[in-house]
Amino acid sequence: MARKSTVLIPVIIAAVAVGALGIAFVPPEIRDRDTAFPKGTVRIDDNVITVEIAETAAEQQRWMTFRQDRLPLDTAMLIKHDKPDLYEVWMLNIEYNLDLIWFDENGNAVYLKKDVPPCTNVVETVSCTYKTTKRALYVMAATSGFVDEHNIDIGSKMTIISA
């Protein structure tokens, strides 16, 4: 009977070699691809906010995941959906606490959560998933403290200036 190490060591060496070759020969169109989000401007009540817009399905999936840099308090991520619904936000792979605001199709804030912590456990999805109780078309995510900085509350009005 073969020892585990005689089987495992060649498998590990092969996996490392394949990974290194994959990294070395990444096509330029993938390696040099711009991963920045399109930018726009919104007004929430009397505050003008720069937004990064996640509109495509890929952008919505990526949104704030693994992002190390905190958004300044005058900037937010805006997820735009195709139709109003009860959208949820899962805080998996988020690096810092966020303020979350849901806006309806008329731009009215219908639900918000302040200082939402990231998931600490992949298995416990319920405790780190946040869902609006009213239909929304937009979800805004910003660094914790954003809601208080701009005095945003249920009923605050968001107007899209440029998108």
Q: 107 is written with which tokens?
A: 């731009």
Q: Based on the domain organization, do 90 and 131 belong to the same domain?
A: yes
Average pLDDT, the chain: 84
Mind listing the pLDDT tens digit for each residue in 125-148?
778 888 999 999 999 999 999 999
CB 139 within 8 A of CB 80: no
Nearest to 132 by CA among 143, 122, 141, 120: 141
Do 100 and 59 reside in the same domain of the chain? yes
Residues 44 and 29 in one domain: no
Q: Over range 82-100, report the average pLDDT.
A: 90
Residue 52: strand, helix, or coil: strand
Q: What is the mean pLDDT of residues 20-37?
A: 59
When mean pLDDT is compared across 83-87, 93-97, 122-126, the lowest value belongs to: 122-126
Average pLDDT over residues 58-73: 80
Residues 21 and 47 reside in one and the same domain:
no
Residue 34 pLDDT class (50, 70, 90 cuts): low
Q: Is residue 26 domain-shared with residue 81, that is, in the same domain? A: no
Residue 63's CB is within 10 A of a number of other CB atoms, namely 17
Whether 78 contacts 87, CB under 8 Å: no
- 133, 136, 138, 141 alpha-carbon torsion, rounded to 10°: -10
Structurally, the chain folds into a number of domains equal to 2
Question: Is the pTM above the cut of 0.85?
Answer: no
Residues 11 and 88 in one domain: no
Residue 29 reports pLDDT greater than 60? no
Same domain for 130 and 94: yes
CATH number of the domain to which 135 belongs: 2.60.120.1140
Same domain, 11 and 78: no
Domain, as residue range, for 10: 1-33
